[in-house]
Amino acid sequence: MKAYLISLFFLVQVTMSQHIGRAIGRVLDNSVQNPIPYAIVQVVGDTVRTIESDSLGFYEIKDIPVGSYKLEATSEGYKKASIPIVVEQSITTKNNIYLEEDITKLATVTLYSEQDNPYKVTSSYSFDAKDFAKSSTSFGDPSRLVQTLPGVAAASDGSNQIAVRGNSPFNNNWYLEGIEIPNPNHFGGYGSSGGFISVFNENTLEKFDFYLGAYPAMYGNSNSSVFDMKLRAGNIRKREHNVRVSPLGIYGATEGYFKKGRRSSYLVNGRIFDLYFFKKWGLVPTKDISIPAFNDFSYKISVPNKNDKLEINLFGFGAANSLQMLYTNKIETRRNQISCNNLNLNYRYSQKLRFSSTFQFSYLKNKIETRNEMMDTVQTDEKILRNHTYIHFKKNSRLHFRIGAMLAFKYSNILYLWGRQRDTDRNKWINIYRHEYVKALISEPYFNGSYRCSESTKIIFGVHTLNISLNDQFTLEPRLGISSKINNKYEIALSSGLYSKLPSFYVYKVSGDTLPSTRSLQIVNSHTFNIDTSFQIKSEVFYQYLWNAYLYNSYFRRNGTMLNQADQDFYLSYSDVGNMTIGHNYGLDLSVQKKFKPNIVINFAGAFYRSQYKDNNKIWRNTAFDNKFTASLQASKEFLKNKSYGFKSFIFSMKMLYFGGFYTIPIDYSESLKYGETMYNPNTLFTQKLPNYFRLDLGCQISYSRKNIKHELRFDVQNTTNRKNVLKQYYDTQSRSIRNIYQLPIIPVISYTAYF
């Protein structure tokens, strides 16, 4: 018996000793993004592991007991940086860590290494893959993750479109690896910035930055928010894979090296979702229901040369989706396709100078077919050739700048219903279609600089220009920001600049190619209070003045403006687009973050704001997105346990959203009763406010990691209280009354992922 117990003891010890993992990544300069050779990298916790990065900044720390740690990096002349990590035995922990140069080279200062964009000043937030797990019902979607930020309102439960600080979702813009990309969301409308779900998820993104406004000069073509996403490079030490099954589709991803010992890597992710077989087997009704189907892929391939001077990156994404709306008297089918492929050449001339050039080809196709008595079709085809080239130069530890230009050639072919006429020979009505062909060259040269006056004060300066060949217009957009740490607990910052947004090519065409871009002046003043290392309060006062916002001339839209629309429709005629007008948005943001031990994080965000414009009668009106206020509360708790048979983690998350209702057009009851359909009063545009929106989401994630596989089970409940939030209203011909259409009810979503 004694021998048996001794054997069992040694067996347990051997089993526990196998619970080790590894951490890999790269140490980079946060300004020029060049590698920092021979940096000291440590994993600090109950145990400490130390290693030196190689001549190209790569590090690999092996044999780390599983658990939670801080990953720290130091190098001569740089500030120490630290990020929290979790080491597991079945998958490799992958993190790049960014160091900021110390201009004093005297004191040791520790930073949290999320500021890899040195041009941030105000209204910016950074997220990485770990943040998705701690946010219920984010579904790995960047647009859904940012819905808890101050001043951000979700357009609807069935869409990830967001209105930021009272701006139309049309004004948002997307960047990938520093280059502008088409809308990367499924079921996105023409000219929209959102859709049902994003092509990207936490398995493909290393991080992304989100700007609420007043962003630096390297970004353009937006009067509102900007997403800047960075794809994760594949594992250069080990080939890894994962498979996910969820109501949002079946995912598959693979990553690794091409040849062992080399630094070339790949990362490919794909998803399939189709209800065809469910419909065929009778599991889905065939009347009065939407039948969606979609699939997508994303990828990144990195190929550096031997001395890492030149790195070639291939990255991009593609998506196809269809949605069939079944009604008793008609069938509406929507189809979308998108393909965006990029080739990047990244050349490191020296530690102070880097050159980057990205070539892009994108193709977008949108088609809407409505079948009732006749077949109505609207279709858009757009091809884009784009290049983004820039030089990033660091003169010294105080001054660095970036000079670049983005060039885009766009060709659009738009087919839409122009009218109907009677065919007397066949005694029937026929549709008359019209083609609009639009092509143009868009150029966006820019200059962005950063000067650190001291360790506590920096100035961001730059200028962005936007030029389009359709009407030879030229916009000059100077931008300036300054931030200063008054002491260890208080920081103040101010950003200001000019911005602009181009309308869709179709709107250009119907206006006679004369429309200028809609422009804005933005000013943001922020105050950050760091009560201690675990408690932060941040407030921002913002003001936005808009001009060249165009109005409608037609009777039913004569008091309307594109500031009220989430996308840019193509049901306009040549007489619909009219005068220019002005608008303004202003308000106050507040965010509070508190971290409790162990592993509890609570975030509160709120905003009060107004969003208005002048109509044709010079009367100030509410925009559709003048919610007046937003409020959110997000909390997460993480449990980590290291057992003899494996490593377990449990994350519980809660998200509460509460914001004012959107403005809508009141239904004219007497006219609706007269004509037997929903009729609106054009003289009362956006004077009716929908009820306030409230939603409570809950989520939990359980992970179990063994030596060669990690199991992850996630359960989310959207709209836990089953609140009936009003989406819109319509006139019901049967009851002869005005009725509400509600947003989504309580929806449980469960998913399983295997990493191996």
Nearest to residue 685, comparing CAs of 570, 518, 562, 580?
A: 562
What is this structure's pTM? 0.91
Domain count, the chain: 2
DSSP state of 261: T
Judge whether 156 lies within some domain: no
Judge whether 135 lies within some domain: no
Are 74 and 80 in contact by the 8 Å Cβ rule? The answer is yes
> Is 252 found in the same domain as 106?
no
Domain CATH number, residue 111? 2.60.40.1120
Residue-range definition of the domain harbouring residue 730: 226-755
Domain CATH number, residue 626? 2.40.170.20
Report phi then psi at 9, rounded to 5: -60, -45
Judge whether 139 lies within some domain: no
Nearest to residue 236, comparing CAs of 69, 504, 56, 82?
A: 56
> Is 545 found in the same domain as 412?
yes
> Which pLDDT tens digit goes with each residue over 276-288?
656 666 655 555 5
Nearest to residue 198, comparing CAs of 157, 240, 145, 154?
A: 145
Are 117 and 209 in contact by the 8 Å Cβ rule? The answer is yes
Judge whether 316 lies within some domain: yes
> Is 241 found in the same domain as 105?
no
Helix spans in 441-590 (H)? 505-510
Evaluated on CA atoms 592, 596, 602, 603, the torsion sign reads positive
> Is 529 found in the same domain as 410?
yes
Measured CA to CA in angstroms, residue 420 lies from 40, 65, 94, 260, 375 at distances of 73, 73, 60, 65, 12
Boundary residue ending a domain (116, 143, 173): 116
Measured CA to CA in angstroms, residue 303 lies from 93, 234, 299, 343, 608 at distances of 21, 11, 13, 11, 48
> Is 108 found in the same domain as 244?
no
Judge whether 392 lies within some domain: yes
Helix spans in 620-740 (H)? 669-675
Judge whether 180 lies within some domain: no
SS3 597: coil
> Is 462 found in the same domain as 609?
yes
Count of C-beta atoms within a 10 Å radius of residue 264: 18
Q: How buried is 673 (Cβ within 10 angstroms: 0-12 exposed, 13-18 middle, 19+ buried)?
A: middle
Are 484 and 521 in contact by the 8 Å Cβ rule? The answer is no
Q: What is the pLDDT of residue 111?
A: 45
Boundary residue ending a domain (116, 139, 169): 116
Are 242 and 571 in contact by the 8 Å Cβ rule? The answer is no
Judge whether 163 lies within some domain: no
Report phi then psi at 218, rounded to 5: -75, -10
> Is 233 found in the same domain as 110?
no
Q: What is the pLDDT of residue 359?
A: 98
Q: Locate tokens 């100030």: which residue?
A: 620
Instruction: State which amino acid sits at residue 123.
Output: S
Judge whether 275 lies within some domain: yes
Q: Which helix (H) or strand (E) holds 278?
A: helix 276-280
Consecutive 10-residue averages of pLDDT for the chain (756 residues):
45 51 89 87 87 88 88 88 87 88 58 62 91 91 95 91 94 95 89 90 92 95 95 93 91 93 93 72 60 91 88 96 76 89 95 94 89 76 96 91 96 80 72 81 95 92 92 88 93 96 78 80 96 93 94 68 75 67 96 92 96 89 94 94 79 96 90 86 84 96 89 95 92 89 92 94
> Which pLDDT tens digit goes with each residue over 711-742?
999 999 999 999 999 998 888 888 889 999 89
Boundary residue ending a domain (82, 101, 116): 116
